[in-house]
Amino acid sequence: MPVLPKDIIYLDNNATTPVAPEVVDVMIPFLRDFWGNPSSAYSFGSQVHAYVEKARDQVAALIGADPKEIFFTSCGTESDNSAINSALEVTGKKKIVTTAVEHSALINQCEKLQKKGIEVVFMPVRPDGTLDFKEVEKAVDEDTAICSVMWANNETGVIYPVEEIAEFCKLKGVLFHTDAVQAVGKIPINLKKNKIDMLSIVGHKLHAPKGVGALYIRRRTRYSPTIIGGQQERGKRGGTENVASIVGFGKACELAGQRMDEENTRVKAMRDRLEKAILEKIPDVFVNGDRKHRLPNTVNFAFDFIEAEAILLMLDKTGICASSGSACTTGSLDPSHVLKAMGLTPARARGAVRISLSTYNTDRDIDKLIEALPPIIKRLRAMSPLSREHRDNDSYDVAAARAKFEEEQVKEAKKELTSA
C-alpha cells in the first residue's frame, strides 16, 4: 500500500493516483546511483539504456503494442498535442474531427488551431454522454487530417466505441487518434486487434509518478515530431529521457496488467455499492453518464439545489478528497464542458461531484463516504430556500421547483453577464 497522509481518504483517482510502492522501489536506483545519460558512449551512461528499453516492453505489453511503437513523452497533454500536430503536418489537411467532451488537453489545442484557420468539428454527445456513430459518419471525410476520440471520459467514465471509429476512419483513409489516458489499466486494450493509429497514455493515472507518458504510433504511420532536438526516441521526441520515471512507468504498467481483473471485480463492486447507497439515501441525486458503458472505477453524481464546490469543501474537512469533475474547471464558476455538452443545465452541472476509485481504496473508504455525504447534502440543502420548501411541503412539485431554480440561476448568470 502507498503511504497516504493520515486520515486522508483519496477518492479522486481520475485526477492522479498514489505511486505504487513497487514503482518507487524500481525508480530509486536511477535517482541515486545510475544517473548517467542513456545516450552516452561510456558504459556508466549507456547501461541505463537497457532499462529504458525494458520499460518500453512493459508499456507495450499492457496495450498489445510492439515496443517499437511506444515513444516516451512528458505527459498526457504532450502525447495528445503531438498526435494532432503531426497529423496536420504530414497530411497537409486542415480539418480535425473530435468530440465536445475531450480533455482540455485536446479541446484547448483544437480551439487554438481553430483561431489559426483549422476547421474543427466538435461532435456532440447524447444526454447520457455517449456518441451517436452517425456523427462520425457525418463529420469524417476525405478533407479530414485526423479524427480524435477519447477511449474513456475522465469526468463521467463513459467509454467510447473507438475501435469501430478507427475502422471507419481507416476505410476513409483518415488518421485516428485516441486519448486513452483513463482507459489504460482499467479496461483491456489490444492494439493488435484494431486499427487505431495513435494512442495517448500517461503514467500518473496508473500509479506511476507525474511527468511521464507515452504516445503509441502504429508501425508505418507517418509522424512529425513536436518536441524537436536530439535523436532520442528514434528521432520522434527530442530531450534527454526521464529515466527514473520511465522505469517506474514500465513497472506501473506491469502491475496494471496484473491488477486489471481486480479493477473490474473488487473496484467495480465498491463503486456500485457506493452508487446504490447514495441513490437510496439521498433524494434528488442523479448519475451523470451511461451507467452501462462506463469505467469500473468512476461515478459522477449530480446533487440538485447545491453547488459542488460547497460539497467538496465540506468533504475536505472530513479528510475526503473528491472532485467536481475536472481539475481544470475547479476554481472557476464555469460548469464542466463535458456535462454542458451532455445537455445538463448549468445549475445541475454545478452540483456534480466525481468519485473515482483505485486498487488502493478499501471498503472502509466507501463506508466513510456513505456516512459523510448524506448529512452534508442535508445541511447544504437546508440553506437553499427551494429545498426547505421541498422538505416542509408534501405536495411539493419537484419538477416545477427545479425549473424555477434553474430559471433563477440563469437570471443570475445573465445579471453577471450584463454587469461584466
- Which residues would be at the binding site for ligand PLP (CB under 6 A)? 75-77, 80, 103, 105, 150, 154, 179, 181-182, 202, 204-205, 213
- The residues annotated with a catalytic role in the active site are 328
Q: Give Cα separations from 104 to 179, 251, 270, 390 (angstroms).
A: 11, 28, 29, 37
Compare residues 212 and 302 and give the one whose CB is closer to ligand PLP.
Answer: 212
Evaluate whether 346 touches 388 at the Cβ level (below 8 Å): no
Evaluate whether 51 touches 213 at the Cβ level (below 8 Å): no
Q: φ and ψ at 229, to 5 degrees?
A: -170, -125
**Least distance to ligand PLP, CB of residue 96, Å:** 16
Count other C-beta atoms under 10 Å from residue 100's C-beta: 17
| CB proximity list for 284: less than 8 A, separation 6 or greater | 303, 304, 305, 390, 398
Compare residues 246 and 306 and give the one whose CB is closer to ligand PLP.
Answer: 246
d(CA 151, CA 215): 14
Nearest Cα residue to 94 out of 122, 124, 116, 123: 116
